[in-house]
Amino acid sequence: MTTRIAKQVIDEIHAHAGSTYPDECCGLLIADKDKRIIESMRVANAYPGPKHDRYDIDPLELFKADRAISHRGFSIAGVYHSHPDYPATLSKFDLEHSFPWYSYIVVSVPKGKAGDTKSWIPSEDRKSVSEEQIEVVE
Ligand SMILES: [Zn+2]
């Protein structure tokens, strides 16, 4: 599996991830009809506790964003978030709180600088995860 992402979206995600360090950032990945991720949308990290190793997206905010994005003829392809000083893997907590119809992009942010970036697809039972290749396009 490969996901195609506009270079500008990767840059936006990296900028967001650096700016919220040492907290996790999160946001939505927006795809066009060809399943190409063409935009990102920043979302507040709604996790009520310490945010350096957790994130949460408010369901109402997700619902509203989904409706607005659908109106424009696009769709939400997935969610991105950052891992400050931690590898770009999908954690057990992430997996248990995932939706299996989304791609999950995780950015490692060692010492505040966004680096390793990976995309993950949860299995339908959310018990395992597989990596998908990221193809950066213009
Ligand atoms: Zn995570």
Asked whether residue 23 carries a pLDDT value surpassing 90, the answer given is yes
User: How many CB atoms are closer than 10 A to CB 13?
Assistant: 25
Ligand 1 midpoint to CA 83 (Å): 6
- CA–CA dist 20, 50 (Å, integer): 13
Domains, the chain, ordered by start: 2-137 (3.40.140.10)
Distance of CA 23 from the midpoint of ligand 1 (Å): 11
* pLDDT of amino acid 1: 78
Query: To 5 degrees, how large is the angle CA 120–CA 124–CA 3?
Result: 30
Instruction: Judge contact between 31 and 37, C-beta under 8 A.
Output: yes
Q: What is the pLDDT of residue 73?
A: 97
pTM > 0.75? yes
- pLDDT classification of 138: cutoffs 50, 70, 90: confident
Question: 120-126: which pairs have CB atoms within 8 A and are 24 or more residues apart?
Answer: 120/89, 120/90, 121/1, 122/90, 122/95, 122/98, 124/100, 125/100, 126/95, 126/96, 126/98, 126/100
Task: State the distance from the centre of ligand 1 to the C-alpha of 11, rounded, in angstroms.
Answer: 19
Q: Mean of the pLDDT values across residues 80-91?
A: 98
Mean pLDDT for the chain overall: 97
CA of 57 to the centre of ligand 1 (A): 12
What length is written for the chain? 138
